[in-house]
Structure 1
Amino acid sequence: MFDKTPFRTEARVTAPDTTLLVLSGDLDYDTAPELFGFSKELLPGEVRNLDLDLSGLEFIDSSGVAALIGLYNSASEHDITMRIVALTPYLRHLLRVTALDRIFRLPQEQE
């Protein structure tokens, strides 16, 4: 059986209207509901900008991708701008091949 890395979320207020959400570990079928639940608690309120740090994600499956899309949709419903501020090369590639880089705001690639 594969070893799983525990999924963790950490939210930090980085400006009066901006929250940084740091995700780490495995975002998969078992843990995606945690992100859905977390977004329901986080999004209503003072947040106008939601920044995601995905650089700590070690694994993501289709359920994890669906959870990110759900988070984006929830943010949009609350007029919150969501952008990805950090991610791994693998995740950047995954978002490109699934055309989600056209929806999510991604950081510039480092040369």
Structure 2
Amino acid sequence: MTTDTNAPQDAVLRLAGDLDFQTAALVHQQVDLALAARPAQLVLDLRGLTFIDSTGLAAIVYAWRVAQEQQATVRLHEVPAFLASVLDITGVGELLARPLPEAADPDASTA
């Protein structure tokens, strides 16, 4: 796994091999590190991914949740066909496509 934060607005995590029980904790750590810089977008480059289990899928959801809390988006790049199917079947693909929640307008008054 590599992290690239050279892009001014994006942080990029390149994942390769298996994303499973043994590697998910490392992904969580790298997501936290990447998002600490407050990028506008976290890109998960998955072109080298060969396997994912439910723990790995949960790591992707974790990335989405933490990014949402920071008003950042998550974009999946180079999704392997097997993972595209898993994302569709589980509904995680739809979750990742959700827009950021609108920030509350501090000038808006409530009636």
Q: Same fold (TM over 0.5)?
A: yes
Secondary structure at 1:30's aligned position in 2? coil
TM-score, scaled relative to structure 1: 0.80
1:62 to 31, 54, 67: 54
For 2:96, what is the secondary structure of its paired residue? Answer: coil
- Is 1:11 matched with 2:6? no
For 1:40 and 1:52, the matched residues in 2 are separated by 13
Shift of 1:78: 1.0
Across the two proteins, how many residue pairs are aligned to each other?
97
Identity score, percent: 32
* Larger Rg, first or second structure (1 or 2): 2
1:12-91 equivalence runs, <5 A: 12-13=4-5, 15-91=7-83
- Which structure shows the higher strand fraction? 1
Distance 2:15 2:86 in 1: 16
1:80 partner letter? A
- Consecutive unaligned residues in structure 2, runs of 5 or more: 98-111
Kept in 2: contact 1:44–1:78 (CA 8 A):
no
Report the Cα distance in structure 1 between the residues aligned to 2:67 and 2:95, rounded to whole angstroms: 13
Give the Cα–Cα distance (whole angstroms) in 1 for the partners of residues 6 and 43 of structure 2: 9
| Bigger share in helix | 2
Q: Does the CA-based 8 Å contact 2:35-2:67 persist in structure 1?
A: yes
SS at match of 1:103: helix
**Offset from partner CA, 1:37-73 (integer Å, 9 cap, x none):** 1112110224111111112111110000011101110
Scaled by the length of structure 2, the TM-score of the pair is: 0.80
Q: Letter of the aligned partner of 1:28 in structure 2?
A: D
